[in-house]
Amino acid sequence: MSIRDVIVFRGIWYLMTLLSLVGLSISLNLLWPPGGKSPALSRFLRDGAVSATTFYAVTVLMYLLFTEPPSTNGYKDFTTNKERIPQVVFAELASLALLTSPLYYSNHDISFVLSMSLFTISLFIGGTGLIQLSDKFRMDMKHAYITLLCGWLSCLFGTYIFIYLPSIPVAMIFIVVDWMLALCIFCYNFASEEFSINSRVSPLPA
């Protein structure tokens, strides 16, 4: 990977993380308007949300101002199953959490559900961006894009289902959607690798 590619990829993740900070700020103002009175539990959740947003902001500034850009050797392809397992586990759990998170506040009004969904997806995007900006925990680039896409779809499906289809068959929809997203992530990480290995072995004689 060239230096230009490294700069472009890091620029994409910086932009994603900054957009997530904007989404977190907007959702915080919608959920807890300045000057409004809230119960103790709500204040506790607000303080936790503000702390998470502050952590994201400080970390992205640290990566931007006080961390040297990694070399081109830092962006390697993940070639073994052992290297791919942690990123697959993260993607699967994140997609499941985004899909089921509206369940915990589905008894609130639509505006609250939408605000919480905005906060949740912004938290996910920012976390993925910080992972990609780090040197130790960085995921495979294409896998990170697939994880983002699956996360967006999971949050969209979960929010839509609990707003417009709050019924018992929702559980089956959850199972089908989560299975399809999980299969997509699994096939990219493991089935594509097996196909690429098999394609290198030509059945024809040299």
**Angle, alpha carbons 27-29-34 (nearest 5°):** 160
What SS3 state is found at 203?
A: coil
pLDDT at 195 over 50: no
pLDDT at 99 over 80: yes
Q: What is the rounded average pLDDT of the residues 25-29?
A: 88
**Angle, alpha carbons 92-163-155 (nearest 5°):** 25
- The 3-state secondary structure of 30-96 reads HHCCCCCCCCHHHHHHHHHHHHHHHHHHHHHHHHHHCCCCCCHHHCCCCCCHHHHHHHHHHHHHHHH
pLDDT at 17 over 80: yes
Our CA dihedral for 61, 48, 119, 114, rounded to 10 degrees, sits at: -160
Give 122's pLDDT tier (boundaries 50, 70, 90). Answer: very high
pLDDT at 74 over 60: no
pLDDT at 73 over 60: no
What pLDDT, in 10s, does the model give residues 124-162?
Answer: 999 898 888 887 778 888 888 888 988 888 888 888 777
What pLDDT, in 10s, does the model give residues 34-60?
Answer: 765 655 556 777 788 888 888 888 888
pLDDT at 80 over 80: no
Per-residue model confidence (pLDDT) at position 82: 76
Give 79's pLDDT tier (boundaries 50, 70, 90). Answer: low
Percent of the chain with pLDDT over 90: 4
Cα separation, 91 vs 117, in Å, equals 18
pLDDT at 30 over 50: yes
Highest mean pLDDT range out of 108-112, 121-125, 168-172, 184-188? 121-125
Give 69's pLDDT tier (boundaries 50, 70, 90). Answer: low
Per-residue model confidence (pLDDT) at position 121: 92
